[in-house]
Structure 1
């Protein structure tokens, strides 16, 4: 069953066209902001940083931060992976004694801001993600069709989490 069949089966795929246009022309066209669990900020064993990255996938950024800070990448916790072709904001945790080393790391298109002390962040320690998506090169009917689509989504209560290029990137398409 391909994704179109899957979504149609559950009533999530409209027979009507989308709005057209292009997304992710520039990384700033696709912004992802992570909403962490409040419990991430409880405790003192780890330093919690807000990581802003542009055109970096999460694991590559984590490994580069670890290398430059002189710590193991396994000591860096994060709640989920974020898109590479985007500007993303997410929280990471490092051992408290590595705070100064991580603060001194400088990497192009990566910003780290110390937020507070807390706990080791594990996969899933987030409430969700907020998105700001710019769609370019749309026609005059796009706005009306977008309002229809939002209405359909509200009626259905959202849509399933699709696993594909958006989720894993172009190099790792392992949806099974």
Structure 2
């Protein structure tokens, strides 16, 4: 574990000392660095290999969005099951069917294209004038499907981030057990897997960002590096009476998110290696479970340790940016050292700071709720669990499968 340094002071610009140095990152294997299968896990995974997403029905995602509908208003809410189609494209089809602007179609979150998913959409229908025909898009391919399960009238649009959790039902096929299971635990292969799943249900897993955040072979990180290599937009002082135009909020979102996610994953990996990912360090910033609330603590006393053990609070890591001034002590040292000891992370962190991206905190630990499982046969396991939004089911799978294939 990194030892405390009383002289460390948290700073929002810790990598800035490296800005003038010409780091050569041409030899860095971005695909390997972003391969989440290489990230460390707290315990040895009991499954050597498994296949997921062999069929769309092997990866089911149900949006959990409990609501009391008013039964009135001009927003038609549709509960839709889809497969083979991404959320944004379906929103476009719905806007064309209802003959309304795309901005009047609302949804809470993006759902995987290569899965069977259910989620809500809202359509603002002025005067409740529904289209003459039922929703039946003409350009749906053979592998795509869309089914309306229910509809409700409501007085509000569905906004992004409204739902707080997703239910997953995942089928793992062609399972190969780790050869050392029985030798190390004295349990049968199945018993070893089930014991591991019980541990996950109780203690959670490292809250890594999943591989989809980085794109194929880490291409999103390459795009981020290309973005940071370009000159910043003109930042000359503007006349007092004119407001400086800001770039659209969504601009370069993918690249910026990928950069922050890679830094976070490497910080979390350092905490997993020193076994502090689910414990508090001096200067830690804690997250209150199930909320966006955070608080700091210089020392971890018995009360905080009990809250950590119960899952009431979680340690956090930084989503890099300016203003990372809440963390201190040992926790800050790990974050700063992780970035400063990596030319790639330093370049990404500096690029984020130059664009004035504000630092945020993310829990290091991901609770796994409502965990259950069933063996369909000797090599097929069906898992069911619930995760908060913004987390990745692949991170749960990676915690007990050494090599996932799809």
TM-score normalized by the length of structure 1: 0.78
| Superposed counterparts of 1:1-176, under 5 Å | 3=36, 8=40, 13-18=42-47, 20-38=49-67, 41-42=69-70, 44-97=73-126, 100-101=130-131, 104-107=134-137, 108=140, 109-118=145-154, 119-139=156-176, 143-160=190-207, 162-165=209-212, 173=220, 174=254, 175-176=258-259
Equivalent residue number for residue 285 of structure 2: none
**Unmatched 5+ stretches in structure 2:** 1-32, 178-187, 221-253, 260-406
1:21 Cα deviation from its structure 2 partner: 1.8
Q: Secondary structure at the match of 2:130?
A: helix
- Kindly tell me: are residues 113 and 72 of structure 1, through their superposed partners in 2, closer, same or farther at Cα, counting changes over 3 Å? farther
Bigger drift between 17-26 and 85-94 goes to 17-26
Would the aligned equivalents of 1:53 and 1:111 in 2 still touch at CA under 8 Å?
yes
Task: Give distance in 2, aligned partners of 1:96 and 1:63.
Answer: 15
1:4 Cα deviation from its structure 2 partner: 6.3
Larger radius of gyration: 2
Bigger drift between 120-129 and 134-143 goes to 134-143
Task: Give distance in 2, aligned partners of 1:123 and 1:36.
Answer: 12
CA-atom RMSD, angstroms? 3.1
Task: Give distance in 2, aligned partners of 1:56 and 1:132.
Answer: 18
- Kindly tell me: are residues 113 and 157 of structure 1, through their superposed partners in 2, closer, same or farther at Cα, counting changes over 3 Å? same
Query: Number of residue pairs matched?
Result: 170
**Relative contact order, higher structure (CA 8 A, sep 6+):** 1
- Kindly tell me: are residues 16 and 112 of structure 1, through their superposed partners in 2, closer, same or farther at Cα, counting changes over 3 Å? closer
Q: Deviations over 1:115-160 (max 9, x none)?
A: 2112211111113111111111124776434313322212324552
Q: Secondary structure at the match of 2:117?
A: strand
**Unmatched 5+ stretches in structure 1:** none
1:74 Cα deviation from its structure 2 partner: 1.5
